[in-house]
Structure 1
Amino acid sequence: MLTSLMRGTTALVCLSLAMPATAQDSDPGFLGTLILTGGKRDLSFGTALSRTVVGENEIMDRQASTVAQLIDSVPGVTLVNGTTPQGSGINIRGFGANTTFGSDQKIAIQIDGASVGSEELYRIGTQLFTDPLLYREVEVLRGTIGSFAYGSGIVGGVVKLETKDASDFTGGVPGFGGAQTLSFGSNGSAWVSSTNLAWMPTEGAEFLLNYTLRDQDDLKAGDGTTIGNSGFRTPSFLAKGTFTFGQDDAHSLMFSHSSTVADDKDVPYDQFVTTADSFGRVDRLTETTQTAVEYRFNPVTDLVDLRANLSYADQAIDSDYIPGSSPLEGTPSFPFLLETVNADQRYETAKLTVTNRALFDTGAIAHDMLAGVEAQRRIRADNTAGSAPGGTNDRFALFVVDEMSMGQFTVTPAMRYESSSIESENDLAGVPDTYEKDALMGGLALAYDFGVGLSVFGSAAYTEGLPIIDDLGTSDTAQRRIGMSEKSNTFELGAEYTSTDVFANGDTFTMRGNLYRTELSDITSYTVAGSTATELDRVESSGIELEASYGTASGFYADFAGHIGEGTEFNPDGTDATWRNTPSDRAQVTLGRKWEERLDLSWELIHAVDRRDALGDDLPDSTVHNLRATWTPQAEGWLDGSEVRFGVENALDTDYVGHLSSPSRKAPGRSFNVSFTKSF
């Protein structure tokens, strides 16, 4: 199967397309040195890291209702359980959100540097609860090798979100600016209003306010049935300010605060299903806020580029059980169930990260070194639900990433040391109240540039997942888990090619592919199927990720993104099975044409095979077609500065269940979407 799919995918890659390359200042280390801008997607070149950037134009074109729904087009990324902010989750290379929790601690999510998510709340996918229209770009780093500046135990990857800036609307010059976006979707009678107000009083100061209100009724599936528990109403708010000052503008200070709220009445407690099950129904208020302050000192010297980021993330989920909604009322098991569904959850994460990027030479070796220190405190409020214990987790980390260039060779070692201390909020009878653990982890990336647009790269990375607050407890199982750290080894090998005038004068072609293999051992977060206390012995996963772009001078373009993978979970008794969270094999092709800055038309085809639902049952192959158009009027008057977007999602009204989703939660059927944006 893997070999035949590789042949088919290679044939598709030969059709894949990109637009001209542009350089971009990116993160230090091997986090990317050149961004190649394609029709819909930016590709990294000159890096050993699997990195994909979803820019603002694509965010607007896709008209997604959640960030998870937006980035599931990235190779190896799976959207788990639907298109609602509360129920959906992000899975990368088989790790992250799963069919039980919104997170398994193996991917990291950051908003302007603030760490969000990472709580194992039963049947609530609250890994990333926010609105896509607050952001100017979303960056997805796949695998472990690029994660050492962001955390420990990261196996799937990192999702980094950057909020919008006032200068995006003022053109970077003093004055007022802004934009108003109105959107409507036929499926679920969805509508969105997003207002941006920007002000730059001087060149050294800018302020932005954003208010977005998103509303959606229950969606319809491809067969016309209603997808229960799929409606929501979420107001979101963003305030951001940036100040630049000092000689040569060497100093800058950024402040951002964002918040999203949902007040749901009479909804199933289990966010992964469409109708209430034994857990019954609740009134649930969910509120997530992120605040970040970043100071940067970047004088005219290669040795200093200092950043200090202080962030605070807070998520509160208050649930009130609706009496009579559970069929288990009156049974012996109901009191424990009531503790779970009638609980108020809250966790707060405060973090300070200080880094410095230095450029220097030692003989024939040129260094691009990022060094940093990080301190973090996470507080989990106590409640009566045994599945969500209260406590405090203090962590301290040191990390360094040094990209060393020697002619056509680049060698990049990376290391991270992290210590963790967990203290229970309540006395744990018969067991310790405090637990400590530390780990040293790291990786090595190698790259060689042949100088003709072709380069090869490889990497090896080791990381450890330290115990978390959720592991607190007095049972033998809890004590075993909190005394261990999960260990992971990941190896990658790949190549990339970029050139111009490949098939015709003025065209550009970029292609990147990599193979990865990951082994997870000393497992504490996954149990043997049918057991709640016996952990898997190990998990092995591997795959191929392909991205490519091609563009012509006349405006024709095509993008390709694909993933082929397989995984195995091994039980302690020597038996094995297919890894339950393995991504499906998937190919996505976008063909389009641009007429300068006036019109962009595209057709997107997504074909997925080897799919399974949340219960592990096989699903048939699925093929989905999406059509999109962006019109930018070149006219004076009230149309000046406006953009009109039209899309048809699931154009053929295909009836299917998403990979790893609950069998009752079908994917949305056809929707006609239209949006109008007016800049001023």
Structure 2
Amino acid sequence: MRGTTALVCLSLAGTAMAQDEPGFLGTLVLTPGKRDLTFGTALPRTVVDEEEIKDRQASTVAQLIDSVPGVTLVNGTTPQGSGINIRGFGANTTYGSDQKIAVQIDGASVGSEEIYRLGTQLFTDPLLYKEVEVIRGTIGSFAYGSGIVGGVVKLETKDASEFTGGELGFGGSQTLEFSSNGHGFTSSTNLAWMPAEGAEFLLNYTWREQGTLEAGDGTKIGNSSFETPSFLAKARFTFGDDDAHSLMFSHSRTEADDKDVPYDQFETTAGSFGRVDRITDTKQTTVEYRFNPVNDLIDLRANLSYADQKIDTNYIDGSSPFQGGQPVAVFCANPFFGVICADNRYETTKLTISNRALFSTGQVEHDMLAGIEGIHKKRLDAAAAPGGTDDRFAAFMVNEMTIGQVTVTPALRYESSRIESTVPLAGVPDRYSNDALMGGLALAYDFGNGISVFGSAAYTEGLPLIDDLDATATSQRRLAMTEKSHTFEIGAAYTGTDVFAEGDSFTVRGNLYQTKLWDITTYTVAGATGTDLDGVTTEGLELEASYGTAGGFYVDFAGHVGEGREYNPDGTSDTWRNSAADRLQLTVGQRIGDDLDLSWEVVHVADRFDALGADLGDTTVHNLRATWRPDNKWLDDTEVRFGIENAFDKDYVGHLSSPTRKAPGRTFKVSLTQAF
């Protein structure tokens, strides 16, 4: 009975959390393992909470979420070089993004730029965040953008109340982390203050540095060292009758000043592109007002955000063999090689106004999210590509309708865009307009005995980008059309208690998906620069499960198997060059009271290939972790974490990574956190 009661309480807590999140489809089940799973929903959603963020001791957010089914980490040993690929879309071997993944930090849209050979999709530090949510596929994306095929990555920064316990006064924490491979060091300081009821302030400063890593065979991994200071300031004010009004402000920033490094962040040496001095500066600012009175029809949010990514690059004279005897000014003026010398800056200002309403119409219970969005994006003019602006307007609606055990959720999004070049090009327009209507339908049925089934169909269109501005025939074709895709999904889930033993709990969820892209504007035929593919298809199975006993033993499982094809205009086809690998991850752990958590993680990856398409063998990596919270009055509020990554020093190259960039070898990690 105790185990059943505990799971019911956890499920209710998960439901309350879900209701506080606009547009959430279904219930979040808090499992006994490290990973929270969704239940009774057609939405493929995985949450990495703050406890798991700390346990994984990741250097980048990409390293943190590659444990999610269908997620691949591309060239992920440095913040500048790492990229996120979901179901075969997102980061690839050329760019850090292909616009098919949306990334948001406190609602600010970040990291969607196509910058050649830079994996700048998500340049930030994991210790700024209390939660990372990954929504896979298209069905859950309509409140966040258009053309989203891979999914959505949402990051939520920490709050002051976490450190003060919701009480007036001061609080905070200090974390020190050390890693043996590359002699890594991290210091993260949180200072929180609640001076009065309804007011809270948080400051975080994180310094992370890493030297040159070693692979499993003892060789040095070039271009793997970095230093990144990060900063977060956040304030929240709650006021009015029943605290119906709230105002949140957050500002985060991560920067790096790299000297004499390869321009190409995917490679380990200077190679053809030479070396540069590079300053990468990424910052996000968000102001959100929320009005949530005691009225089911009103939960209004207005989120105003500004994201600024600036990359200043100074080419080092003579470091590229393509320069030959040319003066730097002549070399950098070359339309192709100018990318090596170019500064890049993207600024995105966005206003999203939405309302969530709960109401009934006869036998139907509605949970409806509706909103409008305005986006202004500006790209700095550079030698490699003209600058411009992209102005968009969008309206969206997601209505979760429940009739007994059946849930039907239609979703719609309309989006229009106007792209204008700041450097008019001879013989072509300097202004382009497009619009699209897209949407989907999700169905779920709960049998009432712990079993549920679900399915969805979704259609989206990718509107043209600032990055496509050019006078070439390829660019003009892409600017005149939208890229289209549809995704179908079907699956089932089960959750229950006292399944195999008294007091245990078990949750499992499986999901089949199939995606097709056509009217391609993003990918060219292999080996060509001006001929786009005819189409891309991907399909796969995602499986997540968690089991735990009353005695503290737990097992978590996450897996993905799938394949993809790319189709050429001449009727031939080949394996999709960005396909996700087959990946199985099993974690076995034991909690001993509230003091100790021990776990062993095994990750097996198959059907792999590198960035050049060469086959890679299967690989199995073992990771060990321990978290200790001393039960001693002198060590109250202290947490000590130990980790061994790649425990058997496996020598391998990661899936989709450059063949010269091996994965890190055995790494010992230890961190100490003291709350105050």
TMscore range, shorter length = over 0.9
Q: Distance in 1 between matches of 2:211 and 2:28?
A: 42
Residues 646 and 665 of structure 2 are in contact (CA less than 8 Å); yes or no, is this contact kept in structure 1? yes
The one-letter code matched in structure 2 to 1:627 is L
Give the match's secondary structure for 2:53.
Answer: helix
1:111 aligned to 2:105? Answer: yes
Please list the CA deviations of residues 586-619 of structure 1 after superposition, one character each: whole Å capped at 9, or x if unmatched: 1000000001210000000000000000000000
The one-letter code matched in structure 1 to 2:17 is D
- State the 1:334 CA deviation: 4.3
1:519 aligned to 2:516? Answer: yes
Give the match's secondary structure for 1:470.
Answer: helix
TM-aligned CA distance change 1:647 to 1:317, over 3 Å: same
- State the 1:28 CA deviation: 3.6
- Structure 2 residue aligned with 1:390: 387
- Structure 1 residue aligned with 2:137: 143
Q: Distance in 2 between matches of 1:377 and 1:527?
A: 28
The one-letter code matched in structure 1 to 2:450 is G
Give the match's secondary structure for 1:25.
Answer: helix
- State the 1:379 CA deviation: 0.3
Mean CA deviation greater in 325-334 or 624-633: 325-334
Q: Distance in 2 between matches of 1:135 and 1:542?
A: 32
1:665 aligned to 2:645? Answer: no
Identity between Structure 1 and Structure 2 (%): 73
Please list the CA deviations of residues 374-413 of structure 1 after superposition, one character each: whole Å capped at 9, or x if unmatched: 0000000101113xx2000000000000000000110000
- Structure 1 residue aligned with 2:233: 239
Q: Distance in 2 between matches of 1:28 and 1:670?
A: 42
1:573 aligned to 2:570? Answer: yes
- Structure 1 residue aligned with 2:4: none
The alignment yields a C-alpha RMSD, in angstroms, of 1.3
- State the 1:175 CA deviation: 1.0
- Structure 2 residue aligned with 1:77: 71
Matches within 5 A, 1:87-126: 87-126=81-120
- Structure 2 residue aligned with 1:368: 367
- Structure 1 residue aligned with 2:290: 296
The one-letter code matched in structure 2 to 1:675 is S
Give the match's secondary structure for 1:187.
Answer: coil
TM-aligned CA distance change 1:432 to 1:52, over 3 Å: same
The one-letter code matched in structure 2 to 1:670 is R
Please list the CA deviations of residues 121-171 of structure 1 after superposition, one character each: whole Å capped at 9, or x if unmatched: 000000000000000010000000000000000000000000000001011
Please list the CA deviations of residues 166-191 of structure 1 after superposition, one character each: whole Å capped at 9, or x if unmatched: 00101111110000000000000000
- Structure 2 residue aligned with 1:536: 533
The one-letter code matched in structure 2 to 1:538 is G
1:620 aligned to 2:617? Answer: yes
Residues 18 and 548 of structure 1 are in contact (CA less than 8 Å); yes or no, is this contact kept in structure 2? no
Please list the CA deviations of residues 600-654 of structure 1 after superposition, one character each: whole Å capped at 9, or x if unmatched: 00000000000000000000001000000000011112x1110000000000000
- State the 1:245 CA deviation: 0.1
- Structure 2 residue aligned with 1:341: 340
- Structure 2 residue aligned with 1:155: 149
The one-letter code matched in structure 2 to 1:347 is Y
- Structure 2 residue aligned with 1:282: 276
Matches within 5 A, 1:507-656: 507-637=504-634, 639-656=635-652
Q: 2:469 aligns with which of 449, 465, 472?
A: 472
Q: Distance in 2 between matches of 1:292 and 1:588?
A: 36
The one-letter code matched in structure 2 to 1:110 is Q
Q: Distance in 1 between matches of 2:406 and 2:179?
A: 50
- State the 1:455 CA deviation: 0.4
Matches within 5 A, 1:103-502: 103-330=97-324, 334-335=331-332, 336=334, 338-386=337-385, 389-502=386-499
Residues 488 and 519 of structure 1 are in contact (CA less than 8 Å); yes or no, is this contact kept in structure 2? yes
Q: Distance in 2 between matches of 1:378 and 1:514?
A: 35
- Structure 2 residue aligned with 1:12: none
Q: Distance in 2 between matches of 1:134 and 1:117?
A: 17
- Structure 1 residue aligned with 2:3: none
Residues 592 and 603 of structure 1 are in contact (CA less than 8 Å); yes or no, is this contact kept in structure 2? yes
Figure out how many residues of one structure are paired with residues of the other and give that number: 661
Residues 210 and 226 of structure 2 are in contact (CA less than 8 Å); yes or no, is this contact kept in structure 1? yes
The one-letter code matched in structure 2 to 1:38 is P
Mean CA deviation greater in 583-592 or 27-36: 27-36
- Structure 2 residue aligned with 1:10: none
- State the 1:202 CA deviation: 1.5
- State the 1:35 CA deviation: 2.8
- State the 1:331 CA deviation: 6.2
Mean CA deviation greater in 19-28 or 564-573: 19-28
Residues 40 and 454 of structure 2 are in contact (CA less than 8 Å); yes or no, is this contact kept in structure 1? no
Residues 19 and 39 of structure 1 are in contact (CA less than 8 Å); yes or no, is this contact kept in structure 2? no
Give the match's secondary structure for 1:481.
Answer: helix
Residues 31 and 507 of structure 2 are in contact (CA less than 8 Å); yes or no, is this contact kept in structure 1? no
Please list the CA deviations of residues 332-373 of structure 1 after superposition, one character each: whole Å capped at 9, or x if unmatched: 894525521111100100000000000000111010000000
Q: Distance in 2 between matches of 1:77 and 1:367?
A: 32
The one-letter code matched in structure 2 to 1:25 is M
- State the 1:31 CA deviation: 3.1
The one-letter code matched in structure 2 to 1:489 is H
Residues 19 and 551 of structure 1 are in contact (CA less than 8 Å); yes or no, is this contact kept in structure 2? no
Q: Distance in 1 between matches of 2:547 and 2:192?
A: 36
- State the 1:81 CA deviation: 1.0
Residues 65 and 84 of structure 1 are in contact (CA less than 8 Å); yes or no, is this contact kept in structure 2? yes
The one-letter code matched in structure 2 to 1:411 is V
Please list the CA deviations of residues 461-520 of structure 1 after superposition, one character each: whole Å capped at 9, or x if unmatched: 000000000111111111001111100000000000000000111100000001000000
- State the 1:30 CA deviation: 4.6
Q: Distance in 2 between matches of 1:541 and 1:182?
A: 42
Please list the CA deviations of residues 178-211 of structure 1 after superposition, one character each: whole Å capped at 9, or x if unmatched: 0000000000000000000000112200000000
Q: Distance in 1 between matches of 2:412 and 2:316?
A: 50
Give the match's secondary structure for 1:301.
Answer: coil
Stretches of structure 2 that go unaligned for 5 or more consecutive residues are: 1-6
- State the 1:34 CA deviation: 2.6
The one-letter code matched in structure 2 to 1:157 is G
Q: Distance in 2 between matches of 1:660 and 1:468?
A: 25
Q: Distance in 2 between matches of 1:133 and 1:632?
A: 19
Residues 419 and 437 of structure 1 are in contact (CA less than 8 Å); yes or no, is this contact kept in structure 2? yes
Residues 318 and 324 of structure 2 are in contact (CA less than 8 Å); yes or no, is this contact kept in structure 1? no
TM-score (norm. length: structure 2): 0.97
- State the 1:329 CA deviation: 2.0
Give the match's secondary structure for 2:182.
Answer: helix
The one-letter code matched in structure 1 to 2:382 is N
